[in-house]
Amino acid sequence: MVRDPLSGDDPPDLQSVLDALDDADCRTIIRHLDEPMTATEVSEECDIPMSTTYRKLELLTEASLLVEGTEIRPDGHHATRYEVDFEAVTIGVTEQRDLDVSIDRPSHSADERLASLWGEVRKET
């Protein structure tokens, strides 16, 4: 399930975040995603097999740590690009002594929000 980038600050699922951050391949992907990359570029850059790369990208996206965008190409073969969508992850304890997670996100320009919206529309068609 892909996180809706326009939904605001929905709290991420604690277990999803912990699972993603506990995974060595996921941490490698986060370290190498200095700029948006396709799954193929991530696989090559991180030296992770493609089948594993897709699973890890899905895990990171479900944990709200990555965001998917669509690169529109003139030839009609659009590409999904992934980028890190957090500046900090904080795990804390609530007043009820439950664990809680919060994610600080970078601010996005109007162009980035429009591109994200377009990517979501493309997925639905």
What would the pLDDT profile of 47-64 be if each residue is shown by its tens digit?
999 999 999 999 999 999
- As a whole number, mean pLDDT of residues 99-119 equals 75
- As a whole number, mean pLDDT of residues 93-121 equals 78
Q: Which two tokens stand for residue 13?
A: 């699922």
**CB-based burial, 55-68: b 16+ in 10 Å, e otherwise:** ebbbbbbbbbbbbb
Band the pLDDT of 10: cuts 50, 70, 90: low
The phi and psi torsions of 91 (rounded to 5 degrees) equal -105, 125
Provide Rg for the chain, Cα atoms: 15
Closest residue by Cα to residue 29 from 16, 12, 44 = 44
What pTM was estimated for this model as a whole? 0.73
